[in-house]
Amino acid sequence: MYLKTAIILSACMSISWAQSALAWGQTGHRVTGEIAQQYLSEQAKAAIASILPNETLAEASTYADEMRSNPDEFWQQVAGPYHYVTVPEGKRYQDVGAPEKGDAYIALQAFTKTLKDPDASLASKQLSLRFAIHIIGDLHQPLHAGNGTDRGGNDVRVQFFREGSNLHRVWDSGLIDRRQLSYSEWSAWLGSKISDEQAQEWMITDPLVYIAESANIRDEIYPLSDELSWRYLYDHIPTVKLRLQQGGVRIAAYLNDVFDDAGSAN
């Protein structure tokens, strides 16, 4: 009886964490997708157009969140953990690995395999491409490399400009939305500030690097007070901008690598 209760409780906690784990919100994800668009190789552009005709990366980037209410078993029982990883403080992802139910890192490997498979169905490739874009964005939000103690900051209650919130939500959307910019304004402003040297430096395709960076940042963003306002915004909006820029460049780098390899293999 105790074991059955524990299993049910664990499952509910996982679902609850997954349902509240909306990295970057709609605006942030679209920013990473829009920035990525300008760094795609011609081969990647052609491959993406064949999988998602008339759909930009910005549009595709939010699909995995928009489908959370889909009653299908995949979305309700399987896909929730695909948005985050857990890295306890002082550890590396490689030290702990993924839980049995999987996580963002494991899912990204599986979706990448599908994208490279010439025999995979179009529907499978569409799901895999949309999810891959989303996951790479997720892994650049520091609290999506959670420490395993507070559901990625969802349990850290705060007042953000005198409104009740939690730390995860502040990083998903609060800091971004406070600027009252559209995703296209964010994308244009941030994209124009990425130098050629920075873009080259950030062209990293190893998601373990994204995870390690986020875990390191995560440990620096927990506030000393639960009253967050202008000073917290001032201190951390540069990091938000950096992670959106890096996320965008790396979505492109990752997809370029996937489709250049897939093309050479055929």
Fold of the domain built from segment(s) 2-265? P1 Nuclease (1.10.575)
Mention every residue, 6+ apart, whose C-beta is less than 8 A from residue 104.
Answer: 81, 82, 83, 84, 85, 135, 138, 139, 144, 207
Give the pLDDT score at 24: 87
- Range 256-264 average pLDDT: 81
Give the pLDDT score at 262: 65
Distance between CA atoms of residues 181 and 178, nearest Å: 8
**168 pLDDT higher than 70:** yes
Give the pLDDT score at 11: 41
- The length of the chain, given as a count of residues: 266
State pTM to two decimals. Answer: 0.90
Residue 22 pLDDT grade (very low, low, confident, very high; cuts 50, 70, 90): low
- Residue 242 buriedness (CB in 10 A; 0-12 / 13-18 / 19+): middle
Residue 23 pLDDT grade (very low, low, confident, very high; cuts 50, 70, 90): confident
- Range 20-48 average pLDDT: 92
**206 pLDDT higher than 50:** yes
Q: Which helix (H) or strand (E) holds 164?
A: strand 163-166
- CA quadruple 83, 88, 90, 93: dihedral sign: negative
DSSP-assigned beta bridge partners for residue 86: 146
Nearest residue to 132 (alpha-carbon basis) of 43, 240, 264, 255? 255
Please count the helices (runs of H) and the strands (runs of E) in the chain. Answer: 15, 5
Q: In what order do the strands lie in the sheet with 227-228?
A: 163-166, 157-160, 227-228
Relative to beta strand 157-160, strand 145-146 is unpaired
Are the CB atoms for 122 and 135 separated by under 8 Å?
no
Count CA within 13 A, CB hemisphere, residue 242. Answer: 13
Distance between CA atoms of residues 38 and 56, nearest Å: 11
Domain ranges within the chain, ordered by starting residue = 2-265
Mention every residue, 6+ apart, whose C-beta is less than 8 A from residue 243.
Answer: 140, 141, 142, 214, 217
